[in-house]
Each structure stands twice: as structure tokens, then as C-alpha cells.
Chain A
Amino acid sequence: MATALTGADRRTVLLASLALGVAVGVFGVVFGVGAVSAGGSVAQACVMSLLVFTGASQFSVVSVVASGGSTGAALGGAMLLAARNTVYALALSRVVTGSLLQRLVAAHLTIDESTAMATAQPGAPAKRYAFWVTGATVFVCWNVATLIGALAGSAIDPERYGLDAAFPAGFVAMVAPHLRHRQGLAAGAVAAVICLTLIPFTPVGVPILCAAAAVLIGVLRSDDPTELQPMAGALDAEIAAGGNSFLGPNQRDERDLGSAL
């Protein structure tokens, strides 16, 4: 598996990560606009993208704050979403080695996209290269786009352009791969019911936190652990072909990540 990296390999990875970067950039602009519309400052939007750097958590904060939820509720939901990066980082720890400083930086760049690109490569050197290139590209695109969106934010009426629907639509695209296997679909359905039931009766943000209880379905043994594998293969092919799906990375089950690395 110790495949040497050729120039062609590097170009393929570079092109795929640039394509991902552009897609992430579009999302970053939407995030910047949303953060400012939710009452954040341009500086808060930018600092969040620089330091938090995990899109789903950032969107969930903006979503909860925009609808009047408390700081605790916003933080709780975002932290739960950020927890999956631990699983990604665990899987990556087998290929992203180096000095402590390198690993500290690598930890910050551990997100859906960099993990997926790394796991799609054949050998350890290629995985390492893809991780760093994708992480850096997405980091730059996400932060530049956040700044653009935040600066434009106050000049844009989100409802006029349907941007209030862009948020849940973004979540739909992010969650779709997670609902393509039975346990994910069950967890999503239970979470939706919990959330809808609680919205009229609890403070804003609380339904989201309570909906997280749906993950306890995972305590049950997955009845068919192989059902996700064709998906993961399809994803790898898609990324190799240019990575036109920003959300593809979510398509893999975290247990696949471990074994793929």
C-alpha cells in the first residue's frame, strides 16, 4: 500500500479539492449572510469560521439564535454536531502523523471534506497529501466566503431571495447521505417527531437538543452492517471524478472510515 505519489495523483487531488472549495465557498457566503441576519457582527461571523471551522455546527448556531433560542441551546446543539469530528479525527490519527504541532494543526482541519478526501486515496502518502491539501483549500475558501457573505449580509433581505429556505435546504443536502441506511433513517424520523412535538411547548432551541436523544437507536446492534458499503464506494468514485458533492463526505459510516484507513 506504500504507493509513491506521482504528479498526476497530486493534480487529481488538487482539482478535486478545488472543486470542493468552490462548493464550500457558496455555502460560506450563505453562512455569512445568515450570521449577520441573526444579529451577529461581521467579526463574530469571521471569527467563528476561523476558529470553529465546522460548517454544520456553525449553521446550527445561526439557526437557533435567529429564531430566538438561548445561548445554551445554541451551544448545546452545535456541540453535539461537532462531536462527530472526534470520530473523523480518530480515523485520521492512523495516517496523519508527525510532530505534535503538525497534529495540532491537523486537528483543526479535521472536517467532513478533508476526512472524505483522505479516505478516498489508495495509500498512506496519498491519504496524507489529500488530507492537507483539502483541509487547507476548504479552510481558505470557507473563511473568504464567510467574510464576503457577512459584508453583504446587512444589504440583503434574506426572505426576498428565499435565503430562509436555503438554510433548511442546506441541512437537507447535508443529512441526505445519513438517511440512506436504516438506522440513520430511523434516527432522523424519531428526531423529527420529537422536534415537531416539542416546538409549541418548550423554549426555542430545546426541541433540537431533545431530538438528539434519537441517537440512542445506535445502542441497538445494526442489523446489517454491510448495507452502507456500496454507498461509500460510490462516494469515493464521485470524489475521484472531481468531488462535485460538497456533502458526499457524510455518506460514509464512521465505522467504514476506521477500516478504510
Chain B
Amino acid sequence: MTWGLVLGLALGAYAFKFTGLVVIGSRQLPAPVERCLGLVPAALLTALVVKDTFSSGDALVLDARAAGVLVAVIAAWRRAPFVVVVIFAAATTAAIRQLS
């Protein structure tokens, strides 16, 4: 991790917030643009889940993480609080590693 990355992201993240609150204010963006922006978390977070669960470097793998994430998916689907989702997943993965 580099300082350039940390500070670059800080600048960029603030620029997005600043743009919305101070620059554009209450002006409306075109509806298709707003819909695409609204889908960013769905697309990116799902991709991150897939990557963190099934990859190690550039290899696709299936290990104890998958069981933990499966538990997380079930818990999240049943609307468990965030903390519960994370703790169940970590505990499941840790337990499988202990046993194997």
C-alpha cells in the first residue's frame, strides 16, 4: 500500500461528495445516469465477494472461505445484522480450518 494510493483515494472520495453537495446542489442528473450510479454497489460489491471467495492471486480456488461466505449469504438474506453476518462467516471458516 502506498501513500499515493491513500491520498489519491482521499482526494477522489472527497471530490465525489463535494460535487454532489456543493457543486451540483439540487440539480437533477439524467435518469439513466442516476440508475447506472445506483447499480455501482450491486455490481462492484458482488464482484468483490466473488474475488475474495474464489480466488488466490490469479487462480480460482475452492477452500474454507466458500463455506463461510455461504453462511454469510444465508444470514444476509434473512436480514441478520451486519455484525452477525461477519462473525458467523469468520467462525465457520475458522472452524473448518481447525477441523481439517
Contact = CB atoms under 8 A, between A and B. Distances in A.
8 contacts: A48-B10, A68-B57, A78-B13, A79-B16, A90-B25, A107-B17, A191-B44, A245-B82
Interface string A63-96: 1010110010011011111111111111011101
The interface size bin for chain A is 35 or more
Interface in A220-261: 222, 244-247, 250, 253-255, 258
Contacts of B52: 63, 67, 164, 167-168, 171
Contacts of A134: none
B73 A57 contact: no
A38 interface: yes
| Most central of B26, B51, B57 by chain A CB within 10 Å | B51
Contact of A77 (B10, B44, B59, B68): B44
Question: By DSSP majority rule, is chain B's interface helix, strand, loop, or mixed?
Answer: helix
Interface of A: 23, 26-27, 30, 35, 38-41, 44, 47-48, 51-54, 56-63, 65, 67-68, 71, 74-75, 77-90, 92-94, 96, 100, 103-104, 106-108, 110, 159-176, 178-179, 183-185, 187-192, 194-196, 199-204, 207-208, 211-219, 222, 244-247, 250, 253-255, 258
Given A51-B10, A179-B42, A199-B60, 4 more contacts: A75-B8, A80-B40, A90-B24, A219-B35
A195 B26 CA distance: 35
Contacts of A110: 17, 20-21
Contacts of A188: 42-43, 45-46
A107 B24 CA distance: 12
B54 A196 contact: yes
Nearest to B45: A175
Contact of A67 (B18, B49, B57): B57
A33 B37 CA distance: 30
Contact of A179 (B24, B44, B46): B46
A162 B76 contact: no
